[in-house]
Amino acid sequence: MMRYGLRAWGIACVTVMAIGAWQSAAWGVSLDKEGTMKLGLRTYVNARIQMEHTDRNVVYEPTLPGQPISNGLPGQPPQNLPLKVQESQTFPYSPPGHLRQNRFYVEAEWDHDLDSLMKSFGPLPLLADLPFKIDDLKYHLTYRGEGEGVYNWGPSEFRTSDAYRQLLSGQPTWNDLDGPPNGSNVSTVYNPPRSCTLDTCPDIPQARHKLRHVATVRNRLFQAYADMSIGDLFIRAGRQILVWGETDAFRLIDNINPVDSSFGGFLISLDERRVPLDMIRASYRVGEYGDVISEAQLEGFFSWDNKVSYYPGTPAGSPWTLPNLGAPSGTTYTFAYRPPYNFQSGRGGARFLFNAFDATWGITHYYTYDDLPLLSICVAPNFPLQRVTTVNPGGAGSGPVAGCPAPPPNNPVAQPVGANPNNFAILAPQSLATQQAAKTQISGLTTTFNIPATISRNLGLSGEPV
């Protein structure tokens, strides 16, 4: 099967056009005459070109005469510089016509039915000696490979660190239409990271290495699970995806598996963004109740995995970071925690599913981790201009903020000032932000049914949509 197409998308702040230039293909084949082994492959390549500039809007107001402000640099007197009062910027800034995404995708699936081998191969015949009969024993493997070319041959704002180095140099930014007020310099007192804070100036080679590791190439054993049936009981164990709910574009009951925005952005379909979890699920067929309820079944799951949506999250420098979230911050140090990989921190639940009145009904309750993290922020008492120097390392204000968690280790506190390499001046930890998993309960009643063709035609729809 071969498909060719052209797609266009609109984004709230940035209109992005997928100049599809994309070719998608899917194949499937049986590898033995009995059909017990099957191999499937799906692949595509696409590209997106943005048709508008990304968000870059800064509003300045001049300071009043006689009220100079400091630009935050040691040894420089206050000046009457225009003061930034409002800002909404996407980092890095990207003009119209630039490549925003060049995605390569391949997924290979392997299915193997072991029923015939249970009679003749290795230790599998021993399963016949169990006090219960195992039917439909099989396993499934999925390989997924993804590549993103925008960091290799895309525009310079994504291919290089030029945008960050301009930010670090303290060069002012302003609204494209208005320009800087009165053609003068502007105050950079709130322009991160003009004054390197918390630890040291961000390590750009390390940050770009992380960006490429997280968002350039990924090869994964995506799913790996085994299935078996024992009478009316079905069991699946391993790394898998479990979808409760029928929607394709948004999630209500479908919150068991986290979604991944670190690779490809939020325009990728949910089927490609769900992250598999190590879990065990079971489904028991209950049967019928009278003439109304049919195909009733009770289903449950438990996962001990620690994957969450915000970790590693959309990395700084990605084309898919939201305005004001991509630039290295000069005032806030953020670090994320995942829940532990154990049974005590697991997620799980159950649902009752049945057919009635020409519709499928589900009653659901489960525990899971929310896609959005629980954010805790601590700030210094004299935020935002607490200063500490190694000349007086034990002086007031040095060290971490009292009562706040310490940032991860191996982050040296060093910002050289002047010609003396042993003299350092930094801003103390003004703001520490921690992201932690928020465990939540979800309960709901769902119903799924077909809209009759006689009604769907009057609504301008074709067929019998679900």
Region at 366 (left for phi over 0; alpha for psi -120 to 50; beta for the rest): beta
| CB distance 98 to 92 below 8 Å | no
Q: How confident is the model at residue 51 (pLDDT cuts 50, 70, 90)?
A: very high
- CB neighbours of residue 119 within 10 Å: 10
Coil vs helix vs strand at 216: coil
CA gap 59, 264 in Å, rounded = 32
**Predicted local distance difference test score (pLDDT) of residue 169:** 64
The H or E element containing residue 159 is: helix 156-159
Buried b (16+ CB within 10 A) or exposed e, 65-104: eeeeeebbeeeeeeeebbbbeebebbbbbbeeebbbbbbe
Residues facing 26 on adjacent strands: 42
CA gap 36, 115 in Å, rounded = 9
Output the pTM of the full model.
0.75
**Predicted local distance difference test score (pLDDT) of residue 78:** 59
| CB distance 135 to 228 below 8 Å | yes
| CB distance 268 to 280 below 8 Å | no
| CB distance 343 to 429 below 8 Å | no
Q: Which residues contact 430 (CB under 8 A, 6 or more apart)?
A: 197, 198, 331, 332, 379, 380, 383, 384, 386
For the chain, the residue count is 466
Residues facing 7 on adjacent strands: 18
pLDDT per residue over 245-259, tens digit each? Answer: 766 667 888 899 999
pLDDT per residue over 423-432, tens digit each? Answer: 444 444 556 7
| CB distance 2 to 23 below 8 Å | yes
If one compares 214 and 78, the residue with the highest pLDDT of the two is 214
Q: How confident is the model at residue 62 (pLDDT cuts 50, 70, 90)?
A: low
If one compares 388 and 143, the residue with the highest pLDDT of the two is 143
The H or E element containing residue 153 is: helix 150-153
